[in-house]
Amino acid sequence: MWDQATASTRSKEAGLASDSDWWRGAVIYQIYPRSFQDSNGDGVGDLQGIIDRLPYVASLGVDAIWISPFFTSPMHDFGYDISDYRNVDPLFGTISTFETLITKAHVYGIRVLIDLVLSHTSDAHPWFIESRSSRHNPKSDWYVWADADGEGLPPNNWLAVFGGTAWEWDENRQQYYLHNFLTSQPDLNFHNPDVRQEVLDVVCFWLEHGVDGIRLDTVNFYFCDKELRSNPPLPKDQVLATIAPSVNPYNFQRHIYDKNRPENLDFLRTLRATFDRYDGRIALGEVGDDLHGLDIVAEYTRGEDRLHSCYSFDLLSGDQITAEKVYSVISSFEAKAPMSHPTWAFSNHDVVRHTTRWGLTTIKAQTTVLSLLICLRGLACIYQGEELGLSEVELTREQIRDPYGFEFWPEFKGRDGCRTPMAWDSDRPHAGFSKGVPWLPIPDKHRPLAVAAQERNAASMLQKYRDMISLRAKWPILRLGEIKDLKVEKTVLSFVRVHESGHIYCAFNLGDEMSEFSAPQIKSGKRVFGEFESALMPNRLRLNGWSSAATFYK
C-alpha cells in the first residue's frame, strides 16, 4: 500500500534539492490534465485532480511528471494556444493550486515539468492584439507579418500543419501574419530580440516558481527564414509523416524555410544558459519533423550548451514496430550524437496509442515493447493510460473536439482518440474520472482496464510497468550506461548496455514466432528480467515470440 510514510522515505532518498543530474536516464510520466482527473465535476481534469492522484503516480516509481499546458487560453487547441504565459486558466485552477502541486509532488519524490508553447501564442494574447492594431506600435514586429504579393496572395507557399496556407490576412494591418498551426495561433517573430528576451523571462518566471524542467513544444519552429523564401517540394516517395501523411498537403514540402532554421542554435545556447542558472532544471525539446527529426535532435542536444534532451517522432509513428525499424532509429542516433541524451516515447497526446498503432493486442506483446523502452539509452517517457494498456478510441464526428480532426475528417480523425479520460474505477460513474459528463467519452472497452481492477491483479499491465520502472531504478546500467553492439537478426533486436558497474545484455523478439539468434558468450550472468532459451549451437540463444530477456555480467 502506498502511503504518506512511504512517500516521505522516497522524498528523502530522492535528494530533490541536490541531484543536478537526476534527469539522466529518468522515467517521465506525461499527464494530459484535461483527461487525468476532474476534481470539481465540470467534466474536465484539473490541477487539483493531479494532486489527488499523486499517490498513484508515485506508486509507478517515475522520476518526474510532464504536465501538458494549463495556462490561460481560449482553448481552440486545448491549451496549446496561450493567451497569458504567467497565469493558470481557471478551468484548471490557480497559481496557488499549481504551487501546491509542486510542493506535494516533491514530497512524493516526483519532479514537475511543465509544457511551454513558445513558438506561437493565441490571437487573444495581449501581445498579438497590440501587434495587429497597427504597423507602428511597440509590438508591431513581435509576430511574423508580411505584405501580399503583387496579386494579393500570401508571400510564399508555406502551409499550416492543421491544413491550408500558413498565412492569414489581417484587414486592419493590410498584411498577412504567419500561423504554422491554427489561424488563431500566430507565430512569434524570434528575429526580434525583444521577443527572445520576453520568452526567456517567461521561462525564468516558471523556473522561479519551482518547476524542475520545461518541455519545449515545437522547439524547431522558433525561427523562420528572414527572407520568407518558399519551401521546395518533397517527392511523394519520401513522405514519412507521423500524422495524416496522405491527406495533408503539409507533408508534400521540404520544410527548410518555415522551421529548422540554423539561427535557432544560438537561441538554444542562450536558453540553456538561462536554465543553467537554476540548479537541476532541464530543457526537454519536442522536434516536430518527420524527415530529419533525428538529425535535429542530435544537433539540438550535442554538447553541454544546448538542450538537455529532445525527442522526435521516429518511434511515435508507424503501423508496426519491427526489429529493423528500432535498429535503424537507434543506430542512426548513436552515430550522430553518441554523447547526447535522447528521450524515447512510444505514445503521447499527439499520436495514435501504440497498443493500437502497432497492433499489440496481448499483455505479452505490450510487456516486450515496454521492456525495450526501459532498456534504451536516454530518458523514457510514458503517456498516461499507457501503463493500463489502453488502446485508441474510435469517436464519431459528433464526439471529436480536435480542430485537426475537423479539418481532415474522415481520412484523419484527429487526436482525440488518445486523449480520452483515464479509467480509474470501472464501478463508478464515468470510471471515476468525474462526477460530471466528461469532455470526451470514456469507452466501455477501457472500463475493465481501470486502475482499481488492475490493482487487484498481480499479472496486470499496470504491475508490469511498476516492475520494469523499478528495474530501471535498481540497475544504474540501464539509466546511465552506454549502448553497444546493437544488432538485428530476423525479428530479434539486441544490444549491450555498458557501465562502470558491468554489462547488461538485452534482447527483444518483436515477432510472433520463436527466433534463434547469435549472442555473446557469457560464462556467468545474473538474470535481470525474462528468460533466454539455449540453442543447440554455441553462442546461440532463442526467444519465444513477443518476449524479451536481459542478463547482467561483468
Active site members? 217, 286
Residue with grid cell 514586429, as numbered in its chain? 141
Distance CA 399, CA 86 (A): 32
Tell me phi and psi for residue 318, to 5 degrees: 100, 140
Distance CA 388, CA 546 (A): 18
Secondary structure of residue 344 in the 3-state scheme: strand
530 Cβ neighbours under 8 A, 6+ residues apart: 371, 543, 547, 548, 549, 550
Distance CA 443, CA 509 (A): 31
Secondary structure of residue 327 in the 3-state scheme: helix
| Cβ pair 274, 203 in contact under 8 A | yes
Secondary structure of residue 56 in the 3-state scheme: helix
Beta strands in 100-162 (DSSP E): 111-116, 145-146
Residue with grid cell 554538447, as numbered in its chain? 303
DSSP state of 417: G
Q: Residue 210 CB: number of other CB atoms within 10 A?
A: 17
Which of 192, 61, 71, 155 has the alpha carbon at shortest distance from 121? 71
DSSP state of 35: G
Per the document, the length of the chain is: 554
Secondary structure of residue 234 in the 3-state scheme: coil
Which three three-digit cell numbers place residue 58?
Answer: 508515485
Tell me phi and psi for residue 31, to 5 degrees: -110, 125
Q: At what angle do helices 193-208 and 263-276 cross, to 10 degrees?
A: 30
Sign (positive/negative) of CA torsion 195, 197, 198, 199?
Answer: positive
